[in-house]
């Protein structure tokens, strides 16, 4: 879909919008496709890695599911790098969108005009303040929905080579270290929340759905009325 021109604002289509989903998760893809159709989004589904397809030098304490989740994100990062995609929206297959997420993203484009940036987190592990304003992301640990720039991907792989000494940690821990550069952004109320159903590819630091409900309720943001 296009809601602003590529030169003057965000431009997302199937070449730079990726939804990670297990091949067997047919019901999840159907629900996601329904959302994409409702928002007029053109999205490429990316097959999530399975535990037996994980070939990175993972830190030893990760579970098979955590390794597979991280491998799935790394596969997308490599695709972005190899194809020199300027920026991409990466989603897991349990994302629910704020009904005004496009409008709020447009506000950020104006804020980032002419500035270098690494990533934009549409969901995050903790609320931020002030409300309804884009702020620097710090110590946020979710990878359910984020936009990453080509520069951000290059920095991710640099962090993996140097800070991590070629040992691979969880994807959400890796992106949290990317935030230390100071060029990542997030927003609250979150532009994307996760459905709250059992995660098939989710990270080891999954946000408890009741926490989502509580945090949004504390600021008067009703899930049923504001997300699809």
Q: What percentage of the chain has pLDDT greater than the value 90?
A: 87
Whether the per-residue pLDDT at 24 is higher than 80: the answer is yes
Contact 1, 41 (CB under 8 A): yes
* Sign of the Cα pseudo-torsion (94, 55, 78, 66, in order): positive
pLDDT digits (tens, 9 = 90+) for 132-149: 999 999 999 999 999 999
Both structure tokens of 64: 């098979």
């Amino acid at each position: 879909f296009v809601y602003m021109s590529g030169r003057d604002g965000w431009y997302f289509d199937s070449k730079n919008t990726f939804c990670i989903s297990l091949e067997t998760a047919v019901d999840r893809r159907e629900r996601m496709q329904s959302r994409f159709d409702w928002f007029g989004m053109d999205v490429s589904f990316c097959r999530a890695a399975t535990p037996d397809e994980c070939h990175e030098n993972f830190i030893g304490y990760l579970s098979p599911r955590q390794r597979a989740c991280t491998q799935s994100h790394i596969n997308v990062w490599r695709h972005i790098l190899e194809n020199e995609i300027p920026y991409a929206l990466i989603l897991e297959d349990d994302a629910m969108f704020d009904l005004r997420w496009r409008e709020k993203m447009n506000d950020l484009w104006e804020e980032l005009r002419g500035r270098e940036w690494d990533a934009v987190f549409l969901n995050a592990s903790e609320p931020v303040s002030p409300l309804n304003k884009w702020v620097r992301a710090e110590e946020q640990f979710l990878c359910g929905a984020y936009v990453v720039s080509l520069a951000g991907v290059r920095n991710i792989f640099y962090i993996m080579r140097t800070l991590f000494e070629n040992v691979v940690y969880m994807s959400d821990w890796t992106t949290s270290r990317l935030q230390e550069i100071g060029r990542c952004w997030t927003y609250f109320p979150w532009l994307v929340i996760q459905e709250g159903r059992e995660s098939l590819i989710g990270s080891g630091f999954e946000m408890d759905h009741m926490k989502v409900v509580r945090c949004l309720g504390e600021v008067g943001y009703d899930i049923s009325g504001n997300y699809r």
